[in-house]
Homo-oligomer: A and B are copies of this chain.
Amino acid sequence: MRLPVIVALLTLLVLPGSHAAELFSEDDLATARELRDRALSRDGGFDVVEDLTTRIGPRLAGSEADARAVAWAESLLTDLGFDRVWLEPVTFPTWSRGFERVRVTAPVEHNMEALAIGFSPATPVGGVEGEVVMFDDLAALQEAQAEDVSGRIVFIRNRMSRARDGSGYGPAVQARARGAIVAAELGAVGVIIRSIGTSTNRFAHTGGMRFDVGQRRLPAAAISNPDADQLERLIALGEPVRLHMEIDAQKTEAYTSHNVIAEITGANYPEKIVALGAHLDSWDVGTGALDDGAGIAIITEAGRLILDLDQRPDRSIHLIFFAAEEIGLWGGRAWAEAHHKNFENLQLGAESDFGAGPIYEIGARVVDAAWPVIEAIQRELEPLGIALGSRRASGGPDFLPSLPHGLAVVDLRQDGTTYFDYHHTENDTLDKIDPQELAQNAAAYAVLAWLAAQSPIDFGSGPELLEQERER
A-side interface residues toward B, CB under 8 Å? 50, 53-57, 107-110, 113, 200-203, 225-226, 229-230, 233-234, 237, 286-287, 426-427, 429-432
Quick one: which of B201, B229, B237, B287 contacts A427, CB cutoff 8 A?
Answer: B201
Residues of B contacting A429 with CB < 8 Å?
A: 202, 226, 229-230
Contact: B108 with A57, CB < 8 Å? yes
A107: chain B residues at CB < 8 Å are: 55
Q: Could you tell me the distance between the alpha carbons of A56 and B50 in the complex, rounded to whole angstroms?
A: 42
Cα–Cα, bound, A286→B201 (Å): 11
Q: Check B431 against A226 for contact (C-beta < 8 Å).
A: yes
Among B50, B108, B113, B234, which residue has its beta carbon within 8 angstroms of that of A426? B113
- With a cutoff of 8 Å between Cβ atoms, the chain B residues found around residue A50 in the complex are 233
List B contacts of A230 (CB < 8 A). 53-54, 57, 287, 429-430
Report chain B residues within 8 Å CB of A426. Answer: 113, 202
List, in ascending order, chain B residues with CB within 8 A of A427's CB.
Answer: 201-202, 226
Report the separation of the CA atoms of residues A169 and B98 in the bound assembly, to the nearest whole angstrom: 37
Contacts A113-B426, A200-B432, A426-B113 given: A55-B226 contact, CB under 8 Å? no
Taking A113-B426, A287-B230 as contacts, is the C-beta distance between A200 and B431 under 8 angstroms? yes
Find out whether the CB atom of B110 lies under 8 angstroms from the CB atom of A430.
Answer: no
B55 touches A108 (CB 8 A): yes
Copies in the complex: 2
- Residues of chain B lying within 8 A (CB to CB) of residue A234: 54
Q: Are B226 and A430 touching (Cβ within 8 A)?
A: yes
Q: Which residue from B53, B54, B202 sits with its C-beta under 8 Å from A203?
A: B202
A155 → B minimal CB distance (Å): 16
A443 to B223, CA, bound (A): 36
Alpha-carbon separation in the docked complex, A237 to B57 (Å):
14
By beta carbon, the residue of chain B nearest A107 is: B55
| Closest Cβ neighbor of A110 among chain B residues | B57
A200–B226 CA distance with the chains assembled, in angstroms? 18
User: Beyond A200-B431, A202-B286, A233-B430: 17 further Cβ-contacts under 8 Å?
Assistant: A53-B230, A54-B233, A54-B234, A54-B237, A55-B107, A55-B108, A57-B108, A57-B230, A200-B432, A202-B426, A202-B427, A225-B431, A229-B429, A229-B430, A229-B431, A230-B429, A230-B430
Identify which of B54, B108, B202, B225 contacts A56 (C-beta below 8 A).
B108
User: Contacts of A201 on B, CB cut-off 8 Å?
Assistant: 201, 203, 427
Whole-angstrom CA separation of A431 from B50 in the bound complex: 33
A–B Cβ pairs within 8 angstroms, 9 of them = A53-B230, A54-B237, A201-B201, A202-B427, A225-B431, A226-B431, A229-B431, A230-B429, A233-B430
Residues of B within 8 A of A56 (CB): 108
Nearest B residue to A109 by beta-carbon distance? B57
Contacts of A203 in B (CB 8 A): 201-202
Shortest beta-carbon distance from A184 to chain B in Å: 31
CB closest residue in chain B, given A431: B200
> In chain B, what residue has the closest Cβ to A287?
B230
Q: How many angstroms from the CA of A200 to the CA of B427 in the assembled complex?
A: 9
Report Cα–Cα, A234/B226, bound state, in Å. Answer: 32
The CA-CA distance from A54 to B233 in the complex, in Å, is 7
Nearest CB of B to A293, in Å = 13
Assembled-state Cα–Cα distance A429/B427 (Å): 17
- Please give, as numbers and ranges, the residues of chain B lying within 8 Å of A237 by CB-CB distance: 54-55
Q: Shortest beta-carbon distance, A223 to chain B, in Å?
A: 12
3 A-B pairs closest in CB distance: A226-B429, A202-B427, A54-B233
Task: Determine how close the nearest CB of chain B comes to the CB of A422; give it in whole angstroms.
Answer: 9
Q: Give the one of A55, A108, A113, A226 with max B CB within 10 A.
A: A226
How far apart are the CA atoms of A432 and B431 in the complex, in Å?
22
Q: Report the Cα distance A50→B234, complex, angstroms.
A: 11
Alpha-carbon distance between A376 and B113 when the two chains are bound, in angstroms = 48
Tell me which residues across on chain B come within 8 A of A431, comparing CB atoms. 200, 225-226, 229
Complex formed: what's the CA distance from A110 to B237 in Å? 41
Q: How distant is the Cα of A431 from the Cα of B110 in the complex, in angstroms?
A: 16
Query: How far, in whole Å, are A287 and B104 apart by their CA atoms in the complex?
Result: 14
Q: Nearest chain B CB to A393's CB is how many angstroms away?
A: 33
Cα–Cα distance between A367 and B109 once the two chains are bound (Å): 48
